[in-house]
Structure 1
């Protein structure tokens, strides 16, 4: 659902109870669906209005300004709700500084560490902190908080965001950071076995000119002049590292409770590039919010990819309306409606129903009160770019699009082995659901549309238009449909209840 949101839909039982009562003569204002113009929630979702208000309210409660109106105006003008605000924590030699630097370069954010806080020659606070450091004394937490607030008040940090490396180190620091109004959006904790960390730490080298950290085994610089100026950092012996690890483990368990909902633990006992991409994927995600959200879901995929089953599962769990385009057209013909009379000749001649008629039927169904109130999942339309444009023009643009990818051989296996018992109407599959007796098997019949030649034609038709549809729905989510249906459903469900990831160009 768009920007992170609980699916606020009623149960199927409530749908059944509420809808029949919504007549003009018997309207209960407390229970009946309210006729809110569909443009209002769509505008809110498109421009993140709900999230914007939630963040602004949070900032008001944290800072409690004397002039709330001016505070909100200043907040809106900064336009920095989505900039990175990341904590990266981890034991010594876990690689947190390297990951923090790589993320800063990729996200164009500002790196904040204890070292560069003290190296600010223009800050009196930094000079005081440096005196403690040179005297080999811990920097008081109150001074550290003032340094952080000073740096985060920098216009660069406000406009581009920041990544905090290795801070907080204690529970007390974490609480002071909270009370000072510093609120991260993502917290990453790197972890690895102590034996690995001790061995890794022994090979660490530092460039005194740039502050870059290298390693004798994993990350040795290619430039000879850089190699020659590298120095062994202080405090990396086995005994000193073990002592620091004990202190880290004592503190980190108390820190983690401060950030239960925005925390991700990543194993750093793997290639650094893999750690980086896991961290990048996480910080580009957006957390769920309490913003109201009406799901408008589109399932795309070739015949046999499982769209109908997934739509039924979604409708059953969330109470949204299952809309199959082919079924809608058949229902209009069966009802002998005015539109159905236009459709019937095309059915009889096995011709494609014109797009203008199809979109009219869809528009009528998706604009009914149940679809507006509870949301919908659509499958079987659009098939090509023209139909996608019609859907958009009609104001029926989905807010979640899934492409179900299934190999051709699996589609052939799924469809060509389907059979129907003409005596009972029971459906079977020769591989997954074989008939119980030989007598039943002998009378089974195959639907003409399930022959391999006709299945191939329909699959080829989908893929001939697929690339254009993928370009049109640029925020689509791709799902491997060639696995257990409930595994596919869980993946689709996670893509619905979680907001779309923030896209940052590589």
Structure 2
């Protein structure tokens, strides 16, 4: 690029390529793994990491007190996401012969397995194909803070930790009816989840160690270690009420698993605000720009500035506007592209409003490389829009804007000199609303990841909603 050229225009592909292909996240993951594993040959290690088809696999821990439904939910999640299902029992039974023999020696003596041995078992298990390529769901482990920290030390840390919670009295009562299928380990309940198949009913057995006294002892031990484990996983955890039907529990768990944690990789906001006239796009754009130091790009203001500066494109647009016509898309896009390609927009990010208004404009924006990573529809009922716009007036002396209901003038003198803008008459507002609704469905079909926000409320409440979806990654869509 010629740095002497002013203004410096940066091709939009520079900003979008790295984000589309996850380059920054890739660097972050590589550096994390190098620091954790400390390989003797970091270059060869990173090359091996890059050869893996997919590093973005589910890594889930499901914890909870006994009889909270960990086994049932873990199996449902594992089947849904097609991941490996890890439990303390199958980790030992599937371990290598030497490690397995060592672990079984402790089990026969009714002794707790040392943390070092658990680390060996899990380290070897995580290297297998199913965990590497498909991810894993670990049920009921770690059981102590020491185990959780030991796993972190070797780089085993969940992306999501689900904590199933329920009152102890409910868990003790639930344990009385717990039954297990010895053929596959499926858990059933005499009251809440009895199988319809008579063959399965006949082979169900009571679970040992779930008498009232046993449950009390297990619950005491669980609560003694829980706070320590929670401190290790609190940034990636969610507590779900397990005292409800399993379908409802699974629904809440799956919604949480679809969410993504914030990344430390660089992120440049490119936001598009869409909505009917009077929906508050300008207000929200201003709030976002002020708080996050991104560029507030108003298409309408850009057009006015181009006309005032008498630029080539501005004069071309003025010829149409003077006749009461919309400026052609190619003229608008040329003016908009010149602004979005400037250094401040590329480096700091931008929030665009007033464009696109049709699907064709949205397609042109994307085709020219200005691909937004957040799109919001500000939804407001037509009646509220009419109330907002037709009742507002402006003081011609001070320029202060008033509203007859929400912000009336304080003096009769000011009230008498207020003027209404010609575009705020009922006919003009209805005309703009009809134009918006004629194209909104087509735009929504184009921006499939767009988020809808209820904008018929306090502006700062709307801003908090938009802000939460700007700073947090969008929900993940599992295949």
Q: Given the two structures, how large is their TM-score scaled by the length of structure 2?
A: 0.92
Q: Which residue of 285, 289, 292 maps to 1:318?
A: 292
Q: What corresponds to 2:349 in structure 1?
A: 375
1:265-304 equivalent positions in 2, closer than 5 A: 265-304=239-278
2:358 aligned with 1:401: no
Contact 1:117 1:126 in 2 (8 A): no
Q: Secondary structure at the match of 1:259?
A: helix
Unaligned runs of 5+ in 1: 1-22, 28-32
Alpha-carbon separation, structure 2, partners of 1:286 and 1:170: 26
Q: Given the two structures, how large is their TM-score scaled by the length of structure 1?
A: 0.87
Q: CA deviation at 1:382?
A: 0.5
Aligned pairs, number: 477
Contact 2:16 2:371 in 1 (8 A): no
Q: CA deviation at 1:77?
A: 1.1
Q: What corresponds to 1:80 in structure 2?
A: 54
Measured at CA, do residues 452 and 233 of structure 1 come closer, stay the same or move farther in structure 2, by a change above 3 Å? farther
Alpha-carbon separation, structure 2, partners of 1:347 and 1:36: 30
Deviates more, 1:243-252 or 1:194-203: 194-203
Q: Secondary structure at the match of 1:449?
A: helix
Q: What corresponds to 2:146 in structure 1?
A: 172
Deviates more, 1:269-278 or 1:33-42: 33-42
1:159-308 equivalent positions in 2, closer than 5 A: 159-308=133-282
Alpha-carbon separation, structure 2, partners of 1:74 and 1:213: 40
Alpha-carbon separation, structure 1, partners of 2:119 and 2:347: 48
Give per-residue Cα distances to partners, 1:168-208, cap 9 Å, x unaligned.
00122112212233222222222222222222222222111
Measured at CA, do residues 329 and 109 of structure 1 come closer, stay the same or move farther in structure 2, by a change above 3 Å? same
Q: CA RMSD in A?
A: 2.5
Contact 1:118 1:127 in 2 (8 A): no
Contact 1:102 1:276 in 2 (8 A): yes
Q: CA deviation at 1:415?
A: 2.1
Q: What corresponds to 1:501 in structure 2?
A: 475
The structure with higher relative contact order (CA 8 Å, sep 6+) is 1
2:447 aligned with 1:469: no
Alpha-carbon separation, structure 2, partners of 1:194 and 1:274: 20
Q: Secondary structure at the match of 2:60?
A: strand
Alpha-carbon separation, structure 2, partners of 1:426 and 1:156: 65
Alpha-carbon separation, structure 2, partners of 1:155 and 1:209: 25
Q: CA deviation at 1:120?
A: 3.3
Q: What corresponds to 1:417 in structure 2?
A: 391
Alpha-carbon separation, structure 1, partners of 2:251 and 2:174: 21
2:336 aligned with 1:362: yes
Q: What corresponds to 2:44 in structure 1?
A: 70
Contact 1:320 1:377 in 2 (8 A): yes
Measured at CA, do residues 354 and 197 of structure 1 come closer, stay the same or move farther in structure 2, by a change above 3 Å? same
Q: CA deviation at 1:264?
A: 2.5
Alpha-carbon separation, structure 2, partners of 1:235 and 1:376: 60
